[in-house]
A = this chain, B = another copy of it.
Amino acid sequence: MSKGIGKHQIGDSFEGFVLIKEANRGVTSTGKPFLTLILRDATGEIEAKLWDVTKEDEEAFIAEQIIRMTGEINQFRGKAQMKITSIRPSQPTDGVHVSEFIEKAPIEREVLMEKLTEAIFEMKNATLQRIVRAFIKKYQEALLTYPAASKNHHEYVSGLAHHIVSMLALARELHILYPQVNKDLLYAGIILHDLGKLKELSGVVSTSYTMEGKLLGHIPMMVEEIGQMAKELSIEGEEVLILQHMVLSHHGKAEWGSPTPPLVREAELLHLIDLIDAKMNMLNRALENTNPGEFTQRLFAMDNRAFYKPTFDDDL
């Protein structure tokens, strides 16, 4: 069996099981039907073409189907493309499961949950702690499964929890460097800031936006939900308003989706920590696949920049 899809190089041949993420029917210039498939495994994804398909093929090779295939990796318009040479649907006897073909956070979900719990345990402000606990309880399963975004950063299983835990670690250190910072407030903001995504995104496998997500967006949905939770818990006091403000303002600017900019120190810091962790996630993953002395592909969410990996990076 070949190495994973994400490790391919142009010219390699490929053999193994992969998951069909998307399947679209096309017709060649000479009128013959073919399928354009997006194939993926835990290491990455690739576009593939299946030529001269029959009606049966069209029905067999659909999204979320696992297949066994052989093929060759070519270059098409500057991007890698798999040319499929043989293909069949996986069978129960193959013993493969969807979960094997999906990228996961580099940290186990149990560890992520543990670190979340630790942070909540550190909190001293009872009001903030109660609200946070209530949310964790309500959404625990989804929170440990969902990606942090449909693309760009932390777009893998447990991505959201990974993002939160990484931000909490950063917050802990920033609180030491700037002791004026209200750590409880910052922790609460970090844990809640993106929970609205659990309603905005459709799920883990082929992540898209829900109708609610499109018409409201995760930020106003979460602001509302904090208000409701406070009602349910009969919590009053400034903490609720400030938490809503932190969620509302965490994109930093109206143009970026926060109708109110951060107006509380911890809200500003939440925005900055979110930025750093998202960017480091994107950069680290792009540079991991880049050789020293070379540039990464252009990264759309980093202003379309291509980053250079210095040659002296490892020779300290």
- Residues of chain A touching chain B, judged by Cβ–Cβ distance below 8 Å, are 24-31, 34, 49, 51, 74-78, 81, 83, 124-125, 127, 166, 169-170, 173-174, 177-178, 180, 182, 184-185, 211-212, 214-217, 219-220, 223-224, 227-228, 231, 237-239, 241-242, 244-245, 248, 254-265, 268-269, 272, 275-276, 279-280, 283-284, 287-288, 295, 302-303, 305-313, 315-316
Contacts and interface: CB of A to CB of B under 8 A. Distances in A.
Contacts of A182: 310, 313, 316
Contact of A215 (B173, B308, B316): B308
B25 A29 contact: no
Contacts of A257: 254, 259
Nearest to A25: B75
Nearest to A249: B215
Contact of A272 (B258, B279, B309): B279
Number of copies: 6
B214 A223 contact: no
A238 B287 contact: no
Nearest to A213: B260
A243 B265 CA distance: 32
Given A180-B287, A272-B276, A260 B307 contact: no
Given A26-B76, A254-B259, 15 more contacts: A27-B76, A29-B49, A30-B51, A174-B276, A182-B310, A214-B260, A224-B227, A238-B312, A255-B255, A258-B259, A264-B307, A264-B308, A265-B287, A265-B309, A272-B275
